[in-house]
Amino acid sequence: MTLLCVTHNNMLELTPDMSDLRAIAYVSSATYLMTVPQLESLLVEARNLNLESSVTGVLLYSDGNFMQYFEGSEGAVSITYERIRSSRRHKSIIELMNERIAERSFPDWQMGFAQPTQSELLSLSAARWQSMASEAPGSLATSPGLALLRGFWKGAPR
Ligand SMILES: Cc1cc2nc3c(=O)[nH]c(=O)nc-3n(C[C@H](O)[C@H](O)[C@H](O)COP(=O)(O)O)c2cc1C
């Protein structure tokens, strides 16, 4: 949804309705090299919890490293993040993005999963994740990291 807002110079401008959505992205190191059954069990657990709280997103795993992007209401994201941070299955969490968002990027994924190559994961984590204000009035702010992740997800073998 878009809203009409009056700007500082009294111009009417289209701005996105930021509603109540937040997104967080981070990278972390697994505390041990995870086997396929261990990854599957983590995913089942996460997806069940996310289904209950309407959290969506994607989890990537490559060679002992995780990257996760998740989105949802402020309350749900905060509880989910707390749960993720306190998990003993990973450590050294580095937050890449923690922002309000206008709309979901992965609305159909309770928690998508893919295994990128090490270099794909590296370029995703090295991207700039903070949103850059768009030059065009009324258009959404964009995060280059998120744009890269969406592009990767479109082409990722699953
Ligand atoms: C890499 C990773 C991703 C996770 N993703 C989610 C998630 O999307 N939603 C959620 O509710 N919990 C998530 N969790 C938390 C787990 O579902 C579970 O609650 C937690 O791992 C339990 O703590 P433990 O690992 O110390 O046993 C995640 C945990 C890890 C390590």
Show the tokens assigned to 26.
Answer: 């981070």
Check pocket membership of 88 for ligand 1, CB cut-off 6 A.
Answer: yes
Ligand 1 centroid to 37 CA: how many Å? 15
Check pocket membership of 49 for ligand 1, CB cut-off 6 A.
Answer: yes
Q: pLDDT tens, 78-120?
A: 999 999 999 999 999 999 999 999 999 999 999 999 999 999 9
Number of domains in the chain: 1
Q: pLDDT tens, 45-76?
A: 999 999 999 999 999 999 999 999 999 999 99
Which amino acid, one-letter code, is at 18? M
Q: What is the Cα–Cα distance from 42 to 61, expressed in whole angstroms? A: 12
CB neighbours of residue 61 within 10 Å = 19
Q: What residue's CA is closest to ligand 1, atom 21?
A: 87
Q: What residue's CA is closest to ligand 1, atom 9?
A: 46
CATH (domain of 85): 3.30.70.100
Task: For residue 36, give its domain range.
Answer: 20-130+139-146
> Cβ neighbours of residue 68 under 8 Å, at least 6 residues apart?
25, 26, 28, 57, 58, 59, 60, 84
pTM, two decimals, is 0.87
Q: What is the Cα–Cα distance from 32 to 156, expressed in whole angstroms? A: 25
